[in-house]
Every structure is written in structure tokens, then in C-alpha cells.
Structure 1
Amino acid sequence: MIAVAMVEDDVLFRDSVRNALADAPDVVLAAVAATQAEGMALLEAAVADVMIVDLGLPDGSGIDVIRAARRRWPACEVIVATVFGDEDKVLSAIEAGASGYLLKDAMPALLVDEIRNVHAGGSPVSPMIARQLLRRLRAAPMVSECEGKERLSAREIQVLERMALGYTMIETAAYLGIAATTVHTFVRRIYKKLGVCSKVEAIDAGYRQGLLQRRGR
């Protein structure tokens, strides 16, 4: 079972997600919070596998909850579910440690699939948000040095390449002929060496540092 925690103040959206998860045999809604303070309190309880966080909470920003979750629940993947699609909020959420960013125009039933996706090592992103990130990547300057950070090993670069192509940890493990737990270890090393907290940040750093090659059409 995938245990999910949700920090969401919109009652209608919260209930629609709750109903969608109730029909999923492999996903359970383990905890719910409606405010930033309640979300922070959740982090003192048992660790969830996936956390869904809204950014616009009545007593503060969900960004602070994401940042705290990365510190206290490092194995938990965070998906932002929000109405905010502006670049500043997207980048702030990713920098805080979010592994996915979805706009609330997505159907709650689709969110169940994205929970499975992020739990398997994916990074669900709404198309409009993905377009913003791609524009930013295209505009980012290329550098060949690792900017003082520890360099990745050949195997870690292989894993990073599969991440950039959109493969899950399970698919990467099958491709490389290693265990999924080993891939997870490589991913954590990549994050540490690149000084990042999420898959999107790792891929961005990989392109900027010349570890990944941009592909043409």
C-alpha cells in the first residue's frame, strides 16, 4: 500500500481526492491537514510514502511544508497540487524538494495514477508547467565544470540519463541490470553530489554542467 498524506484547505478538492483514493486498492489516505500548522504537525507522525501539498494555505505557504517534509521525511515524495502556475512558485516548490507539480484542473482520478508514478520514481508535471521548465532549460547557460561539486561516477551518469528520459526507477533498474534499491541509492548520491533535492533539479543541473547532452529532433 502507498500511504498518502494531504495538506489541502479546499474542502471540495480534498473530498474529491479522498473519494478517488478510496477506490484505489493500492493507495490509502493516511493523514489529512487543512493548514500549514496542521501540515507541520503531520510530520511528527508516521512517515507517508507520498505527500500532496497545496501552496496557498490559509495560515502560510505550502512551500514551508515541503521544505520541512524533505528534512523530516526524506524518503517521502511530494506532489504539489495547486491553482498557481506562475514560474516563481513552480521553481520555489521544486527548489524546496517537490518531485511533481500538478495544476488542479487535473481530475482527482488522474491524481491516483500520478501518486503511483511518483512513488515509482517518476516526476508528474502538468503540461503547462513542463513547458515553462523546458523554456527555462533552453535559456540556461551550458557549463562544463561541476562548479566545485563532487563529480558523478559513470554509473551515476547512466542513471541520470535514464531519469532525464523519463524512466522510472524500476525501468532503469531493468535497463541497467541492477536492483531497484540500488538505483534508489544512486539517485540519492546524485542528489547529494549535485546539491539538489528533486529529480527536476537533478536533470536541470545535469544539462547545465554538461553531464547530459541535449537531443535534437
Structure 2
Amino acid sequence: MHQVLWRRPDVVVLDLRMPYVDGISAIRQLADVEAPPRMLALTTFDTDEYLFGALQAGASGFLLKDSDPELLLEAVRALHRGHGLVDPQVTTRLIHRFARLSPASATSAQQRLTTRELEVLRHLARGLSNADIAEALTIEEGTVKTHVANLLRKLGLPTRVHAVIYAYEHGLAPRYSDT
């Protein structure tokens, strides 16, 4: 942990089962530092406790150790670019869990976000890339990036993954069967 604080990497890959401190606690501690690194949780154990615990603690990504090695590289690159990535093996479970939740009031989000930012957020929740969102909304990809950055800032969220979770928690995303 002290190496991360000393070297200040952009991305940290953390095993959730480590000696001395568990990975979720380490993520929580690193999330509290000034300019925290993007954190990728890596584990052998496909449990809700690890998946939701890591994301709630501040991880920007979550992978299982049996994933394709190319996915690990893709995840590190995505986190470095400021995006999030969740292992496809657990994505459906993540979506179903948040789709089952009773939606909280979206009023505060609707007051903070412009109409276009809400549209972008809804498309993010459907899993669309910036290019796909740009095509769907007939705008430039750079404009989508600006909207994503603005909505993340306004909602106080670190990554796109957290924006998707937010959208589901607040009833701003289409139900799973609607996508």
C-alpha cells in the first residue's frame, strides 16, 4: 500500500484476498487519498460480497482471475482512460441486482443534469460506447465525452461504471427487459 502512495500510479490492480489487509479495505483507503489512482479489483471468488463491496469502496473495475488475459489488458487501458470495466461474467448479475431495486427519486439528478446529459446517462446505462451514443443522438463523439465528463462531475461519480449504477439506482435506466 505504501508503494502506491509513494509511486502514485494511474492504475492499481488489487487482489481482493491479500495478506495483512483485504482488498476492499485497501480500495477504500486508496479512494480517500488526494488524487486516488483508478483501481481494478481482481479475484478468484465470484461473490456478490466482493463484486459490490469493491465497487462501493471505489473500484473502477472488477475482473475474475479466470478471465481472458486480453481482458485484463483491456481493463487496465480502460481505467487509464478514465473508464470502468466489469467482467462480462458478472455484468448480467450486476444489472439484474440494480434493476430489481426500487428506484429512488430521480428528481435531484434531473435538476442537476441537462436534458442531453440525462439522455447520455440513459445510453450509458444501456452499455453503449461513446461512438454508439454519438450515433444514436446524432452528435459528435467529442461532445459525448464532454457530456459524460460533465455528468460524472455533477453527480460526483468517478467512472462510467458508477454512472451506470447510479442510473439504475435512481430509475434513470431502462429496465433490463427494455434494452
Structure 1 and Structure 2 fold alike (TM over 0.5) = yes
The answer to whether 1:55 aligns with 2:16 is yes
SS at 2:42 equivalent:
strand
Is 1:82 aligned with 2:46?
no
Find out whether 1:189 has 2:153 as its counterpart.
yes
Unaligned runs of 5+ in 2: none
Within 2, Cα distance between the matches of 1:216 and 1:181? Answer: 25
- Following superposition, the deviation at residue 150 of structure 1 comes to 6.0
Indicate the SS of the match to 1:52: strand
Aligned counterpart, 1:216: 178
Instruction: From 143, 149, 165, give the equivalent of 2:126.
Output: 165
Spell out, residue by residue over 1:174-200, the C-alpha distance to the aligned partner (whole angstroms, 9 max, x if none).
8643457734631432441xxx55433
Q: Cα deviations across residues 68-106 of structure 1 (Å, max 9, x unaligned)?
A: 322325463211111121101211100011111100002
* Separation (CA, whole Å) in 2 of partners of 1:199 and 1:181: 11
Cα drift, residue 43 of structure 1: 3.5
Q: Is the 8 A contact 2:62 2:86 kept in 1?
A: yes
Q: Cα distance, 1:157 vs. partner?
A: 1.5
After TM superposition, the structure 1 = structure 2 runs for residues 1-217 of structure 1, keeping only pairs within 5 Å, are: 39=1, 41-72=2-33, 74=35, 76-146=37-107, 151-168=112-129, 176-177=139-140, 178=142, 182-183=146-147, 185-192=149-156, 196-214=157-175, 216=178
Q: 1: CA distance between counterparts of 2:118 and 2:129?
A: 15
Q: CA deviation at 1:145?
A: 3.8
Question: What's the CA shift for 1:207?
Answer: 2.5
Q: Which has the higher helix share?
A: 2
Contact (CA 8 Å) 1:79, 1:98: kept in 2 or not? yes
The amino acid across from 2:101 in the alignment is: A
CA offsets, 1:10-42, max 9 Å, x none? xxxxxxxxxxxxxxxxxxxxxxxxxxxxx2x13
Q: Give me the whole-angstrom Cα distance separating, in 2, the residues matched to 1:154 and 1:186.
A: 12
Larger C-alpha radius of gyration, 1 or 2? 1
How many residues matched?
A: 175
Helix, strand or coil for the counterpart of 2:71?
Answer: helix
| 3-state secondary structure, aligned to 2:99 | helix
One-letter amino acid of the counterpart of residue 153, structure 2: R
In 2: Cα distance, 1:216 partner to 1:170 partner: 21
Larger strand share, 1 or 2: 1
SS in 2 for 1:186: helix
